[in-house]
Amino acid sequence: MTGSSPPLGVPASLGYRMPAEWEPHAATWLAWPWSTADWPGKGGAIPWVFAELTRWLQRGEVVHLLVPHTDAEARVAGLLRKAGASLDEVDFVHAAVNRTWVRDSLPTFVTTRRASDPHPAPSGEAPALAAIKWRFNGWNRYTNHRKDEAVGHLAARWLGVPTYQPTVENAGEQRRVVLEGGAIDVDGEGTLLATRACLLTGPFARNPHLGAAGTERVFAEQLGVARVIWLDEGIAGDDTSGHVDDFVRFVGPGRVLLAQEPRAADVNHLLLCRAAEVLGSARDAAGRRLEVIPLPMPAPIRFGHERLPASYANFYIGNAVVVVPTFNDPQDRVALGILAELFPDRTVVGIHAVDLVLGLGTLHCSTQQEPVGVPRRRRR
């Protein structure tokens, strides 16, 4: 099941585009960590991280919070009250998930609006907001992902927005395009960042049959993207096989923030140097050379022998705040300072993520922005 029937034509032909994360949101989506299996030994701490995330995001927007059922809603509401969050700014949406990483399982929302446009779309035009529901297959790695695939359809249906499910032909069959939100980052002006390892060439590549040209065509048709900047691979410990939101992010038109690892012995050093070379010679969709701003990396964090994907690049830009994962590391302060300079109109706040990253993701992975486009709907 999907949301309302989409207008005929591909989204970009109807004026849809994927906006930048710093453009106005109607809400942020989160999924409550009802099961804490991804955080062995840390189950008691993780709900409080999500409560803190909710509390900060409410400074500028509503939070749509996925909980499995009515009993769960009551328990979560009690915890949110204790954490100082306002239930007036939370919409509970009943749906079970396999994991809380809604960046990857929920749709990518596209809009016909521009940040400077205060008016809704005229009658007869495409609705201001639509959902691009990619196929979610557990990062092409995990088999327990059916609830996460289903919840993406539910979110679009709950909002009542048109839903597109991109498909391509392969070997005479129509196949849905596989993609997660953390695999891409956009500037809202037609430029997109992605890695070849995640989408094209790695052992867990999502759509190797498409190739670079076919993938770029999908991005153009579905997201209004005119230029894709391809990086090679992602950071160590990333079980998504190369999501860009763990190491490189747009922070404005023509500006990217890139993680930097000066320790030559660290496995991330060389791959981030290569990324810097690519970005230094790239141009965006407007023809601008990119300003590449270095962002430090925390010292490596491990669980047993496993390297975890700890990175300050997994921040999330809300309407009023920028929430940044912190790791009890001296570089925490440096990273917060860099982001505070880049977003002077928002409060930049660190949220402790040493426990959260044990689940192989942090704050950006936990969030999905819903651009301004439809009136608020409440299901309490």
Annotated active-site positions, please?
365
3-state secondary structure at position 261 = coil
Q: Return the amino acid letter for 333.
A: R
Joined tokens for residue 208: 């190797």
Q: Give yes or no for a contact between 251 and 257, defined as CB atoms under 8 angstroms apart.
A: yes
* Reduced DSSP (H G I as helix, E B as strand, rest coil) percent helix, strand, coil of the chain, to 5: 30, 25, 45
- C-alpha gyration radius of the chain: 19
With CA atoms as reference, report the closest residue to 61 among 32, 90, 85, 81.
90
Report the C-alpha gap between 198 and 184 in whole angstroms.
Answer: 10
Residue 227 has a CB neighbour count (10 Å cut-off) of 18
Closest to 312 (Cα-Cα) out of 337, 282, 287, 276: 337
- In the structure encoding, which two tokens stand for residue 192, read together? 């997109």
User: What are the start-end ranges of the E strands in 112-196?
Assistant: 129-132, 163-164, 167-170, 173-176, 185-186, 191-195
Angle in degrees, 0-180, between the axes of helices 70-82 and 46-57, rounded to the nearest 10: 70
Cα–Cα distances in Å, from 104 out to 160, 229, 320, 332, 361?
20, 20, 23, 26, 11
